[in-house]
Amino acid sequence: MRITTGYVLVVALALGLVMTLFSVRDQLDVAADLFTWADQQTTDRPLSSYQPITVTYQKERLELYDGLRRNDLTPSALPPKIEQTFIAIEDRRFYQHDGYDITGILRAFTENQTGDSKGQGGSTITQQLARMTYLSTEKTYTRKIKEILISISLEQKYSKKELLTAYVNQAYFANNIYGIELAATSYLGKHAKDLNWAEVSYLAAIPNNPSLYDPLRFPKNTSKRQQRILKALEQTRDISSKSRKQPVQVTFRKPLIRYSDYIDASVSEAIRHTASVQNISSSEAKQYLHQHGAVIETYLDPAEQTRAKQAIQKLPSPIEGAYVGIDGRSRGVTALVGNKSTLPGQLNRAVQSYRQPGSTLKPLLVYGPYLEKTKKTLTSRLDGSPVCFDGYCPQNSSNRILGRVTIADAIAYSYNTPALRAFAVSFNEGLKTIRPFRFSQWTDEDNSYNSALGGLKYGVSPLELTNAYTTFVNDGLYSPSSMIRTITTDQGTLYRHSLQTDRIWSSRTNQLLRKGLHNVMTYGTGRLGYDTRPAYIGGKTGTTNDNKDMWFVGMKDQHVGGIWLGADLPRAFPVEANSTLQVKTWAEILR
């Protein structure tokens, strides 16, 4: 019995040993995979390669990181005071550890066992940099492990000075401010190299908790933490206790991105082009542009952009607006305004909002194809009496009953019933003609009579509609517009805007349409925007049911400007629509 029991124990121990060995081997494999993963992360996205995207217009240059301004310091230019301050308060053993501090981790682990949250404290500067650059902010042990592994990899690839510089460049200082240099100029009106100990410690207080230590909202909190930092500096550095009494004068200078509507949209366009050229996702394209120091050369005209922004901002509440200006020769977008705000990252109605275009669609979908097919002239007449097609029975403005009217008057006064009769004649041609414009939200449901008067399911964006109108200033030829002239990287030219023309209709038809759109300005619905100075002026108004959307797209010589006014939650604006506020606003912009 004892012998049997002994054999059983020996076998059990042997099996246990084998299983332990297999388990250890598996764990070692997992560990090796994790270290390989961490190394791959830091290899694919080197710290030194995450450069600004530079947007240029005329002679101006703007450097952006992830859509926000950030003026980076170089390791050689990192001021000693900044280096010493952040080490004193964030990571005293920064120059001794290899990316993680086991003492800090054990302390944080102990605290977490008595609290309700995970992943609190214990992070070295390298770990914080790893989190900011490669990971999310979720507070889990899994993320903490990944953070440590990436930190080890970073320490193997970069010097301590490079890591610390990257950290102070990426740290968030509240109020859309990233990096110590921009924080110094924004809050204190100084460059980082010119800060004294009190000022450095004041700014160093913010990243620990930007909401709690926001110097604009909670200056007492900021000052309280500043004193803790100065006390820590007294213990680790030879600084005078007088520093704790030096006043810090905060005079906030908001780090504005001028022309943020246009800049946001142009960067988004650059990301789309990059994704297409490189056959990668949008997030990968954005990263690619940063890694390769992309320079985006735009068509932006600051003067037109400024006038457009001011005009949109002057609109009465609750009316919002969007404006797009395009140079008809180059098809370059010269101005783009999508909201009243001056902050980046806002809803950009010029490119992100789609609304029914009303009668502004008639020249494109109805009258162009009709004149092309029938060879009629502007003096030819259309029946304007009440009409229905497939149950669609539109009325004219003020329920006006018409007889036979000239095509010229039908365009100038934006009559609905003759337009529907014309569309019935050239229905198929109209749907074919509209395709090259690539209205992104056009659906099969829009292949109907409702579309003759702009009653689309989702609608068009101001950029799309203005883009289509460039056909009228180019002899009936259409080519997609762009905000971007070129995108260049350290690899060379990634994208260059070129004209890829489609003939939409003949020169004869285009001349007739131009004359019809000129009539709109001289005696029709756009007469309040008439200007005698340009050699040519033309345009088309559009309003939707109950005057919820107000559109106008106009041309002065080779320049095209399109405007939309309305509200995000559609509501009626009868007074403004009847006074053609959109036309007057357009005229103010292109004065």
426 included as an active-site residue: no
Q: Which of 90, 155, 304, 372 is catalytic?
A: 90
Report the largest interatomic distance among the alpha carbons of the chain, rounded to a whole angstrom: 118
Is 53 strand, coil or helix? strand
Give the alpha-carbon dihedral of 41, 42, 47, 49, to 10 degrees: -70
Q: Which of 151, 201, 266, 359 is catalytic?
A: 359
Structure tokens at 244: 């704790």
Which residue, 214, 266, 211, is CA-closest to 60? Answer: 266
448 included as an active-site residue: no
Is 485 strand, coil or helix? strand
Backbone angles phi, psi at 326, to 5 degrees: -135, 135
Structure tokens at 484: 């971007």
Other beta carbons within 10 Å of 218: 15
CB 569 within 8 A of CB 548: no
Distance of CA 232 to CAs 249, 385, 578, Å? 22, 86, 68
Q: Is the dihedral of CA 120, 126, 129, 135 positive or negative?
A: negative
Structure tokens at 288: 């690619």
Type of residue at 456: L
Distance of CA 500 to CAs 331, 470, 503, Å? 10, 13, 10
Beta strands in 207-359 (DSSP E): 295-298, 320-327, 332-337
**Which are the catalytic amino acids?**
90, 359
